[in-house]
Amino acid sequence: MPELTSDPATRGRYAPSPTGYLTVGNARTALLAWLDVRSRGGRFVLRLDDTDTARESVSAADICADLDALGLDWDEGWDVGGAHGPYETSKRSDRHRAVADDLIAGGAAYWDYTPAIADVSAHKAGRREAKAGRNVHRGTPDAVDGVDPVLRLRVPDAGRIEVVDRVYGKISVDVADVSEVALMRSDGRPTYHLASCVDDADMGVTSVVRGADWLNSLPQHVLVFRALGADVPAFAHVPLLVGKDGQKLSKRQGDLSIRHLIVDEGVPAGALCAYLANLGFEERSDLPTLTEMASTFDIGHLGKASPRYDPKKLEALSRRWLAERESSERLAAELRVRAPVELSDEQVAVLVDGVRTRIPTFAAAGDLAGFLGLDDSPGRDVTVLADDVVAPVLGTRPWDADALAAAIDAAVPAGPDRKARLGAFRDALAPGLRVTPPLHVMLAALGPDRAAARLAPT
């Protein structure tokens, strides 16, 4: 693998808000942000974007756990510290208020006494009287009794704002279409628009990768950076994932959380990363790890259209990942946890090799060990499977998968009845199970005594 370029001056960040477990969409953005930084040898900063405490539903630790489960790491963050802390936006309010004062003094922001929209849902659902564009709030610039003002960004009266996005290319908008967004709420807390820009500037962030739902806010953010006297970071907006039907991905669906995918469904994190991080790029024929992806990563190659999240494709990739790339250690650990019965070291070793090419997830690996939990009572149909076939197999020494496979082949030679006899073998070893590991793997895992018990004549 080529040596990664090392440029510590590149600083990228991921700034999740604790409003829910990471979904496949969030995870993809985080992955792309991480790859962008790592591909250039830069530093990755994790910042908690907790500007809206009312909507918080998960802990910061949950988010770290999800990111960690994916295999991401970070150099600075609210949990590991760093030179630019604190890394929780809520702890930077004093700084935000001081910046707000500067912006007012410099004429870049003004107080607006228009009462807040009372019912947002009605406002969103109904016919929209809201107008985009500047000057819509300037009607009530003077103090009004009983109204706490909101601080708004002042947008220039004429001209265009131009900025180059690393994914979308040149963005050029008329200021008439740029609304004067809120920077500070009437209760004195900053909004995302202010906090995010200030924090990025303060933390020396040079590269921002975020969801395309922020693209429309980019002009305002450019204005804020300029007013701050800070360099505008390089922005890369990533198209949002859409659902199977091409419609928007519902965040309500619990099965879209990566925690559910990894923990409940047992999708290997590496497969999930390979799938999510490759969406929007030309598909690779290999199955790269994150590090391997980082060596050739260029977010400029990301497609601009919204890719569909396809669970079927994820499963196909997961199957390949388990067969080709998953470590035996990890597979062994997952098998122990997910098998319905306690497994010995020998059984784990046999099963790891015996099941890895035939499972879509770790959960399925556990299911394949199900035959071990069955009763060892006799079940062989002697009319199909004779003693002179079973005896040599049971006499196999050493009792290991390879020797057993050879013994089975020798005892049941190719012929018209081979299929039936081996089928009877399976029925005796794993009665009632539709899917099992191969015969020799089951025999090896059961051990000679339990195998003999199950193969005893009915």
Cβ–Cβ under 8 Å, residues 354 and 331: no
Size of the residue set binding RNA (CB under 7 A): 88
| Selected binder of RNA within 285, 383, 398, 416 (CB under 7 A) | 285
Both tokens of residue 109? 């922001």
Instruction: Return the axis-axis angle of helices 401-411 and 345-355, rounded to nearest 10°.
Output: 60
- Determine if 358 is a binding residue for RNA (CB under 7 A): yes
Q: Which is nearer to RNA, 247 or 383 (CB)?
A: 247
By rule CB under 7 A, what string of x and - marks binding of each residue 247-276 to RNA? xx----------------------------
Structure token digits, residue 217:
């806010």
Residue 22 makes contact with RNA by CB under 7 A = no
Is residue 131 involved in binding RNA (CB under 7 A)? Answer: yes
With contacts defined by CB under 7 A, name the span among 79-87, 167-175, 254-262, 290-298 that binds RNA: 167-175
Residues 300-319 that bind RNA (CB under 7 A): 301, 303-308, 310, 312-313, 316-317, 319
Which among 35-43, 72-80, 164-172, 343-351 is the span making contact with RNA, rule CB under 7 A?
164-172
φ/ψ of residue 91, rounded to 5: -90, 5
The tokens for 372 are: 């071990």
Name which of residues 210 to 249 contact RNA (CB under 7 A).
212-217, 239-240, 242, 246-248
Does residue 289 belong to the site contacting RNA (CB under 7 A)?
no
We find the least distance from the C-beta atom of residue 336 to RNA, in angstroms, to be 20
Toward RNA, which CB reaches closer, 37 or 302? 302
Q: Which is nearer to RNA, 4 or 405 (CB)?
A: 405
Q: Are strands 43-46 and 11-14 parallel, antiparallel or unpaired?
A: parallel
Helix 418-429 vs helix 439-454: crossing angle, to nearest 10: 60
Please give the single-letter amino acid code of residue 316: A
Cβ burial of 244 (10 Å; 0-12, 13-18, 19+) is exposed
187 binds RNA (CB under 7 A): yes
Tell whether residue 19 is a contact of RNA (CB under 7 A).
Answer: yes
Helices (H), 239-368: 258-259, 269-278, 290-294, 311-324, 328-338, 345-355, 362-368
Give the N- to C-terminal CA distance of the chain in Å, as an integer: 59
Question: Which residue number, 95 or 426, has a Cβ lying nearer to RNA?
Answer: 426
Q: Classify residue 431 by burial, with Cβ atoms within 10 Å: 0-12, 13-18, 19+.
A: middle
Footprint of RNA on 93-112 (CB under 7 A): none
Residue 14 touching RNA (CB under 7 A):
no
- As a whole number of Å, the CA-based R_g of the chain is 30
Asked if residue 225 lies in contact with residue 197, where contact means CB atoms within 8 angstroms, the answer is yes
Considering only residues 115, 340, 378, 457, which one is a binding residue for RNA as defined by CB under 7 A? 115
Residues 426-455 that bind RNA (CB under 7 A): 426, 434-440
Subset of 368-407 contacting RNA (CB under 7 A): 405
